[in-house]
Structure 1
């Protein structure tokens, strides 16, 4: 195999779709697996859809996900520039070649004529595509008119035969040329369409494999025809399966979040999202579901990518994120958690107490946005009791237990883990209660619940006066 060179080529039109993240990831994994190069190319030729700040956001998302590239914005390489808007002269030069060699032609049709043509075709049940009205204009006349009249440039698709696409994932796919539109290659504003720009750039940047979404497969015969017109060897193609909602409709914002930024806002870790997205269409051939990025690099192959659409299961992502929250190094967990506490306005008065809270709720959260709800018990002024908690508080020995603890606490200046341990030993000896009978009434009285974070941590964070307040409330 010649050196593997792949590209991720997004348009800067706003947020980063999870489908785009998967495309970036598969290109990254394929490049790293084969010790190849990953090129980041910004396809910004559609100026009407350009969003200010979208490129910076994209670079931020890739960095957050740990997907580094080898050439592109901020990483100059030998085949730049890597913004298509800075390559317009290159595209115009290649369009001239196509026109001169009868592979393309200028089209002078007005928007009104094209609209009327489409309406008539639709009314007759015909395929809606350009009718070739300007194909027959003699070349010299067309070149003269180009000097004075608004025009686009179209690909001259052969009227007969088939164009075949060999795809690593889908095998051989044939397209009847009579159903392929004479695609616009250069718009009237002088900017190229995706079809021309991506073929020219993929060739000039020596891209060996084009790995992209299935939605581009119907356009690929046009790209193959362009490669043929230029006399170039096409790259190998691999079209990735669609991402689907649980009802198997195409993944869309109408049924839930589709932007990487949305999942970051929910407190999804990059390791979890990358791991989850890797499995949307690919598997190693076994039932392993948790992969580090390095394991993905070692295991990935395009031959293991499925043709069928992949269902985006939010519950599985949430489960996977919970797994990572509980298994990443503690200092990494605390570092992310501290940022989230600050973001959510949660503060127990010191980093030591904040860290205790984070450790206490770690087993219970699946995403960091749940911290507000899961830490609420540390910041209550009055308790609301669950029915099970009321049952424990109402037990015969519970009030005696609470009174003994209150008496013991009066002699203490503060409530630490050591002090609490001594108080509970004393209570056990005085009441004869042990195990659940000792601990559950105390948990119920101080948290209003029968399940939750480790009780000693809760008491330490609440502090002596709050614990005394809640015990008195339980007695009453």
Structure 2
């Protein structure tokens, strides 16, 4: 599944590429066969398309597959060996622990000057410069410096000759003409090693920009094991792609004005990678929902009704397929549009119209059916039986009921709402009664009275 952090990184890359007339490169790093399935690749491409990053756009390039460049990765390793930037090593972890007393301290350079030739089981290590420091010029983080003495002679090819990720990543960037790398800050620790590889291969490293980590409400890094992090899950719940894009663009960056709700075209033009804040960004689901609600309310009514369709049919809808009436839904849809923040909420707002009986919510029943509720229901039934079946006329009936019972209209509505819709909150009551119809309203009030008598 496509992590929301990856989606934000993709959007920032996309904005920079399109601003500069450049190219957004999608590379599938698929050398781990256990984590490589065609349907997952299709899922990545589909997820990117859902946030406006489309294969058909001239700025899109790829997907490239790292596994198809393996010969070049090995060739680059041998190039480094021939230039004296790498050497073979036959040390085992046990031998390192015996020499240093702690195998976790990093490699001690034992094989640097032994001049070993390749044999199966011997790893190829990069020869890190002994002195100086590697300075990473980062558009977000300034110029962090890494002493070379603290960077061990790291492995670039395993004992079976297969290249490791570090060199594969650098060679692919070189071959694909990558000039800027925008990625999460968890990769910053790899950057000095990659930069050393770029330089040893005779090329200028790209411009780096390491994005702040995204955290949850406890300020913990978003984790797929603990948090809802998949873009697809949010879309499936009814968050609109445009709202997701708007919100993700503002995770660590802002346009510098009070107005946050903006179409992507505006955000793309305003975005500046160097203005991204280096501090962690809080993924606030409540704020995302508020964004989404704004986008829902801005939809044309017909578009809103169409967007709700997946939640109005099986398997998501709790009613039978033949019970749904599109005309009835269209009549109340504008009322729901002003209230919901996520499209999936639509089902609970309208289920009373298409179920044989309203939902049985015991908590709602207990809250609404206080002493005297039976009298309110009887008075309401008597008035509704002969009322003109329009919202204004129904409101007048219930106003008379509330006055007779010495209650404010809101208090008098509660038992009627729960009897007819099953819930204490929802669409405006009078319009709900009109949509439900006289016969079903009276029948549900009768059922509520019978339950109270029991």
Task: Report TM bin, short chain.
Answer: 0.7 to 0.9
Deviations 1:19-69 (A, max 9, x none): 111111110111122232111111112334334521111011111111225
SS at match of 1:82: strand
1:451-470 matches, cutoff 5 A: 451-470=425-444
Q: Which residue of 1 aligns with 2:47?
A: 61
Give 1:119 deviation, angstroms.
8.3
1:243-392 matches, cutoff 5 A: 243-342=214-313, 343-347=315-319, 348-356=323-331, 358-378=333-353, 379=355, 381=357, 386=365, 389-390=368-369
1:19-418 matches, cutoff 5 A: 19-69=5-55, 82-109=64-91, 113-115=92-94, 117=96, 128-138=105-115, 141-142=116-117, 146=118, 148-342=119-313, 343-347=315-319, 348-356=323-331, 358-378=333-353, 379=355, 381=357, 386=365, 389-390=368-369, 394=373, 399-408=378-387
- Structure 1 residues 392 and 319, CA gap change in structure 2 (3 angstroms): farther
CA contact (8 A) 1:84 1:197 kept: yes
CA contact (8 A) 2:238 2:342 kept: yes
- How many correspondences in the alignment? 438
CA contact (8 A) 1:406 1:471 kept: no
- Structure 1 residues 403 and 393, CA gap change in structure 2 (3 angstroms): farther
Whole-angstrom distance in 1 between the partners of 2:12 and 2:402:
63
SS at match of 2:105: coil
Higher deviation after alignment, 399-408 or 208-217: 399-408
- Any gaps of 5 or more consecutive residues in structure 2? none
Give 1:300 deviation, angstroms.
0.4
Whole-angstrom distance in 1 between the partners of 2:104 and 2:399:
88
Higher deviation after alignment, 195-204 or 421-430: 421-430
Give 1:374 deviation, angstroms.
3.2
Whole-angstrom distance in 1 between the partners of 2:188 and 2:376:
73
Higher deviation after alignment, 350-359 or 31-40: 350-359
Give 1:87 deviation, angstroms.
1.0
Deviations 1:285-315 (A, max 9, x none): 2332212111110110012101111122222
- Structure 1 residues 42 and 103, CA gap change in structure 2 (3 angstroms): same
SS at match of 1:345: coil
Q: Which residue of 1 aligns with 2:390?
A: 420
Whole-angstrom distance in 2 between the partners of 1:463 and 1:49:
55
Whole-angstrom distance in 2 between the partners of 1:254 and 1:426:
54
Whole-angstrom distance in 2 between the partners of 1:362 and 1:393:
34
- Any gaps of 5 or more consecutive residues in structure 1? 1-14, 410-418
Deviations 1:231-278 (A, max 9, x none): 111111111111122222222234421222222232222122222211
CA contact (8 A) 2:26 2:63 kept: no
CA contact (8 A) 1:284 1:304 kept: no
Give 1:422 deviation, angstroms.
8.3
Deviations 1:190-223 (A, max 9, x none): 4432211222222222222111111111111111
Whole-angstrom distance in 1 between the partners of 2:258 and 2:34:
45
Give 1:173 deviation, angstroms.
1.1
Higher deviation after alignment, 433-442 or 266-275: 433-442
Whole-angstrom distance in 1 between the partners of 2:35 and 2:275:
35
